[in-house]
Chain A
Amino acid sequence: MSIFPAKGVWWNEPVEKSEVLWVSIAFLWAMIMFFMMPYWHFAGEQNLSNEAYKISPDAFVEKTENFAAKYTVREDAATGIPVVAPPAGSDVYIFGRTFEWWPMLELEQDKSYRFHISSADYMHGFSLLPENINLQIIPDYEMVLTITPTSSGEFSIVCNEFCGIGHHNMVGKIFVK
């Protein structure tokens, strides 16, 4: 019994067939699951680049402001946050700050953009909805990845990392034409 000591050379006791079979099947499944991850790096369209840089929040905010100054097309009526329409294929900067995502973006469907995302203060969660793409945004780190919107409409960036008492008010927008 499992609550009593095991005596003798239990290591050499035979193992029953169905147990051996199960261990083999489970092992096979484990290998399949393992190799799915590298496989998706070759075959899949959804992989993070893992490219990142260290950067101070001030420096990142400045880069983003320069970016916005170049391509702002209008202001969002409700928040006064600029809406920025960068050319297809270009670099895009956006940061989280209690409690907003700055700036808003206007992108073209099926075009790729090199996103640079960071935080001006605390950790934030970049949750792009309704796509449900979720990234962890950490201050002092600039995350870089290429995003290709494959659908159009109005998308929200909801913050899904607790960042302070106003956390639930933190929403940004991406418009895809």
Chain B
Amino acid sequence: MANFRTCPDTGFKIDLQADKLIKWNAVTAVVFLLVGGLFGLLVALTRWPAVHLLDADLFYLALTAHGLDVLLVWIIFFEMALLYFTSAILLNSRLAMPKVGWLGYVLMLVGALITNVAVLQGNSTVMFTSYVPLQAEPHFYLGIILFAVGALLGCAVFFGTLYIAKKERTYEGSIPLVTFGAMTAAIIAVFTIATGAVILIPTMLWSMDIGLIDRVDGLVYRIVWWGMGHSSQQINVAAQIACWYAIAAILFGAKPLSEKVSRTAFLMYILFLQLASAHHLLVDPGLSSEYKIFNTSYALYLAVLGSMIHGLTVPGAIEAAQRKKGFNNGLFEWLAKAPWGNPVFSGMALSVVLFGFLGGITGVIMGTEQLNIIMHNTMYVPGHFHGTVVVGTTLAFMAISYWIVPTLWQKEMVMPGLAKWQPYLFGLGMGAAAIFMMGAGTLGVPRRHWDIAFADSAIGHVFPEAANLMMGLAGVSAVVGSLGALIFILNMVGTILWGKAKVPAPASAEPTPAETPSAATSYGGAGTMAVPGTFVLAMVFLTTFVLYYFVNWKYLAGVWGLS
């Protein structure tokens, strides 16, 4: 049956099948980040007006490939690794149905390759949203469907592992908070994938032109497609927050301030997060305002409340842990004395801050029924989601990789010096790119657009000079961010291939990560430890949120009357 080894760093019992699956999924993810990131760089260099690198057809092709390879392939492969890690390893259990896990892996890989080939062949330039009646080749949809089925099998392995771990009593009490977060991600994934099947299978049949389906309704397509397209983003949010909690625990021995509050926040996600898919439909024809408002607000913003809770409790847990260690001076000694040179920490900290300020605030604002009118499909949209899925999720995944890769492979990192700088380079570079894209969006610059100078068209629109400036600055920042991504990839691949074997001693040069806690202190909440510093930071966040929210209503009030 299952074979185990014991992790020399953490003492966890590691199922060898889980070990292998985690490694293969994570490595595949990183390879696709490289591919997708290169497409992203090409796209960014084309949208930089002074460079304007690619021709129109190649630009749209690269944009299609970029969306698919990063949003779908990189992120979901990595999430599979996280699901196996948080189930089998954190629960000290064997992995359920490892063969199914491998089947899932192969389906995902084959699917990703098929879709990439379809895109590169040139007849499937439809963007990753593939809105009908634009039509791609049938194998474009087929690849995505296979990929999704593979991911669904991964979720089944995860739930199976939860089931057997409980039955075989490999742990006592409730699953760890981190596993609970991963479970939230897996639940959302099941809805996401099922929804995707409902829309993509008919669309594939339609593209095959065999008389089974001769028309797919555009509005229905958008409703159902976004049930997948947006919910998949919510998988990312849940997975990324699980990573935040995990890193807080690994580096600081931090306990959640309150299991009850944090788990309830995840419950809000499970119930309501997916409703937000409707914020893509706010300016679509014919849907009622009741539908739009209830759904886009995630049911009275209860899921946003969940996010605001995690935003307090993650740094709060770190503050409590640091204060217990004696960093008790003033409001912020705990933060100042945090290991800012350790990429596991700095990546996570930047991810929390940038996700909140750049991705979170703007997402809620764009998802407001009327405010969406002045942002829909402008560059504000990619600006917003590079604030979520790039400097939030991708950065969180990078941060935890700096811990997972050396630990699972038992190797020293090959470029520890560059690793120190990498989260700043990537986070701040892509964060700036996101801000400039949003700036361009407020000036009306369209997304998915090859030439805002309209050089080839009979008539055009003259954008203000500031718009070109914003797009230029977005380009420069994207280059910096891409460099950050490249350093991460080289470091990970290099470490795995050529890293020196770890000497089994506390090798870290950083202020000692928490000594593996003894059983007596390893569970439970942080008690009623006060976290004044975090509270102040949270209020700064809220103030920014409120101000920026109302600024946008003021912008809206200035435009033409609509009724």
Q: Is the interface of A mostly helix, strand, loop or mixed?
A: mixed
On whether the beta carbons of A47 and B461 are closer than 8 Å, the reply is no
Among A18-54, those with CB < 8 Å from B are: 18-19, 21-23, 25-27, 29-31, 33-34, 36-38, 40-41, 44-53
* Residues A125 and B134 in contact, CB atoms below 8 Å apart: no
Q: Tell me the B188-233 residues at the A interface (CB within 8 Å).
A: 217-219, 222
Interface-located stretch among A64-72, A85-93, A134-142: A134-142
Contact status B454-A169, CB under 8 Å? yes
Complex interface residues of chain B between 54 and 105 (CB less than 8 A to chain A): 56-57, 60, 90-91
**A147 contacts across to B, CB distance below 8 A:** 560-562
Given the interface pairs A40-B370, A125-B377, A158-B444, the reply to whether A16 lies near B528 with Cβ below 8 Å is yes
> Are the C-beta atoms of A37 and B369 separated by less than 8 Å?
yes
A2, A11, A17, A50: residue with the most chain B Cβ atoms closer than 10 Å: A2
If over half of B's interface residues share one DSSP class (helix, strand or loop), that class is named, otherwise mixed; here it is: loop
What is the bound-complex CA distance between A49 and B173, given in angstroms? 53
Pick from B56, B172, B246: contact of A5, CB under 8 Å: B172
Interface string of B512-529 (1 = CB under 8 A from A): 000001000011111111
**Are B301 and A1 touching (Cβ within 8 A)?**
no
Cβ-defined contact, A134 with B442, below 8 A = no
* Contact A168–B287 (Cβ < 8 Å): no
Do A158 and B176 have beta carbons less than 8 Å apart? no
Residues 435-464 of B, flagged 1 when their CB comes within 8 A of A and 0 if not, give 000000011101111111010111111011
Residue of A nearest to B446 (CB): A160
Task: Decide yes or no whether B335 CB sits under 8 A from chain A.
Answer: no
Whether A52 and B524, one on each chain, are in contact in the complex, defined by CB atoms closer than 8 angstroms, is no
Query: Which chain A residues lie closer than 8 Å to B452 at the CB level?
Result: 168
When distances are taken between beta carbons in the complex, the residues of chain A under 8 Å from B530 are: 16-18
Asked if B373 is at the interface of the complex by the 8 Å CB criterion, the answer is yes
CB distance from B399 to the nearest CB of A (A): 15
Q: Which one, A6, A27, A52, A171, contacts B259 given CB within 8 A? A: A6
Chain A interface residue bracket vs B: 35 or more
Q: Give A83 Cβ to nearest chain B Cβ, in Å.
A: 12
- Centre residue among B126, B260, B377 by max chain A CB count within 10 A: B377
- A sample of 14 inter-chain contacts (CB < 8 A) reads A2-B262, A7-B172, A26-B309, A37-B289, A37-B297, A46-B556, A46-B559, A46-B560, A130-B464, A134-B372, A134-B377, A142-B285, A161-B131, A162-B126
Contacts A5-B174, A50-B287, A167-B450 aside, 11 further interface pairs with beta carbons under 8 A come to A6-B176, A8-B173, A18-B535, A19-B531, A46-B562, A122-B131, A128-B560, A136-B283, A136-B377, A141-B218, A168-B56
Residues of A that sit less than 8 Å from B by CB = 1-8, 10-11, 13-19, 21-23, 25-27, 29-31, 33-34, 36-38, 40-41, 44-53, 76, 78-79, 99, 112, 121-123, 125, 127-143, 145-151, 156, 158-171, 173
The 6 A-B residue pairs with the shortest CB-CB distance in the complex, in nearest-first order? A52-B286, A148-B561, A160-B446, A30-B301, A156-B461, A7-B173
